[in-house]
Each structure stands twice: as C-alpha cells, then as structure tokens.
Amino acid sequence: MDAVSAELEILKANWRSVIEGDGGKCPCCSRWGKVYKRGINETMARSLIWLVNARANAHGWVDVPETAPRWLVRSNQLPTLRWWDLVERIPSTDPDFKHSGLWRATDLGRAFYNGTAILPQFVYTYDGEVERFQGPDIGIAECFGKKFSYAEVMSAHVSNPATLMSVINGTNP
C-alpha cells in the first residue's frame, strides 16, 4: 500500500468514527453524515397492514397519496419499510415528480403481515441506504404497544374487512 492509499484509509476510518457516533460534516463536501438506527414501530406496522388491505390497481399497486388515511401520509413511515424489503415503490416516469406514489407490499411484507416471517428489529442506514441489521428478530405482533392489539386486527380481518379498516384507521369504537 502506498502512502496516499494509507492516508486515505486513515481518513475513511476517521469518517466512519464520526458517522457511527454523533455524526458530522464531511471535511471534503460539507454534507452532514450519520449512521441512523431505526426500529420497526407500531406506525410502520399499521402502515403495512393498511397497504396490504388497501384497494390496489390491476397490477397490485396502491396510490398512497390519493387513497391512504391522513395519519399514514402524515407519519411518512411507509417508505421506511423498504429498508426491511417489506414494501416497494414504482419509480416515477415523470421528470417533474420525484416519486410515483404507487406502493405495494413485497412477498416478504405479506409474510410479515401474515405472521409467517420475522425480521431483525433494527436497521442502520447511511445516506439513505441500508448498512446492516441488528436483532432481536421480531414478528409483526411485537411492533405494537399495549394500546394496539394485533390479534384484534387479525380477528376483525377474518370476520369483517370494514371493521379491520376502522381499527387500522383508529376509528373503531
């Protein structure tokens, strides 16, 4: 390894230390950098449940901005599920729009929704990309606090889809 390569490796290690800690500005480009730890939470799980049960177009895609309940759009938690490969979005074909707004659950997302898949609870991201995952592994039921019953949601789904949507939308009695 030559001197320039050795110095570059030292700089990379120093930058890694900064972004793994509190974060900081890059000395070369002044962009902020930080590795973020995110855990699957109740709002993300509720978003996935809504997406799986939402009316999709003929190709299985759901127009989230047009059809999602306000709490889901305002939370902006649905897009974070892509880090676990639970949802996917069609890229926009219109140069005036960054995103299409069309989403669907992946096969893994449907399995997680159905309780047949478990995932690492935490993901670490840097610059919008997944760096690594960390356990413990959890199922969808573990995403919910005491105020929300996944069993209630699933039993409502089996007996009455309208009741399921009222539970997900937070309007059940």
Report pLDDT digits (tens) over 49-59: 999 999 999 99
Contacts of 37 (CB under 8 A, 6+ apart): 122, 123, 124, 134
pLDDT at 12 over 70: yes
Domain count, the chain: 1
127 is a domain residue: no
Average pLDDT over residues 57-78: 92
Q: Is residue 114 part of a domain?
A: yes
Whether residue 56 is contained in a domain is answered as yes
Provide the pLDDT for residue 76.
87
Using the predicted structure, report yes or no on whether residue 151 has a pLDDT greater than 60: no
Reply yes or no on whether the pLDDT at 123 is more than 70: yes
Q: How far apart are CA 4 and CA 122, in angstroms?
A: 36
- Percent of the residues in the chain that have a pLDDT greater than 70, as a whole number: 83
Specify if 50 maps to a domain: yes
Domain membership of residue 84 (yes or no) is yes
Q: Is residue 117 part of a domain?
A: yes
Task: Look at residue 56 in the predicted model and tell me its pLDDT.
Answer: 92
Residue 11, C-beta contacts closer than 8 angstroms, at least 6 positions apart:
none
Close Cβ partners of 154 (under 8 Å, ≥ 6 residues apart): 115
Q: Which residue has the higher pLDDT, 121 or 4?
A: 121
CA distance 88 to 90: 7
Compute the average pLDDT of residues 33-53: 91
Distance of CA 102 to the CA centre of its chain: 15
